[in-house]
Structure 1
C-alpha cells in the first residue's frame, strides 16, 4: 500500500483553509446583524428594536449568500 503524502497534505490544507474561511465569513454575517447603531450625541437612547445600518445588513446578507454558494458548490462537487 502506497500513500501519496503530498496529496493527503494538500487535501488537509485546503479543507482547513476552507473551513476557517467559511466559519469566519458566517461569523462576520452574524456579527453584522447583531451590531446596533451607535447613538448620536445628545439624543435619547434608541428603541430596543433598532437594528444595524442598511449597509451593514446588506454586507451580512452578502456573507450569508457567499456561505450558501460555497456549500452549494461543495454539494455540486460531491454529486458530480
Structure 2
C-alpha cells in the first residue's frame, strides 16, 4: 500500500482553510445579530447588520449543503 502524502497534505490544507472560513463566517453572523440587539436597546435599528448576518448564515448553510452534496454524489 502506497500513501500519496502530497494528496493527503492537500486535502488537509483545503479542509483546514474551509473550516476556518466557515467558522469565521458564522461568527460574523452572530456578531451581526448582537449589533441588532445592541441597537434595539438604544432605540435604533441595525438593518444592514441584520441583512449581513442573514447573508452569512445563508452562506454557511450553502457550504454545508454543498458538502453534503459532495458526500452523497
TM-score (norm 2): 0.88
CA distance in 2, matches of 1:55, 1:20: 24
Match of 1:70 among 55, 59, 63: 63
**Deviation digits for residues 16-65 of structure 1 (CA, Å, limit 9, x no counterpart):** 0000000000000001101223xxxxxxx735xx6x50011000000000
CA distance in 2, matches of 1:18, 1:78: 16
Cα distance, 1:4 vs structure 2: 0.1
Structure 2: tracts of 5 or more residues without a match: none
TM-score (norm 1): 0.81
Structure 1: tracts of 5 or more residues without a match: 38-44
CA RMSD in angstroms comes to: 1.6
* Count of paired positions: 70
- Relative to its length, the structure with more helix (as a share) is 2
State how 1:44-63 maps to structure 2 within 5 Å: 46=42, 53-63=46-56
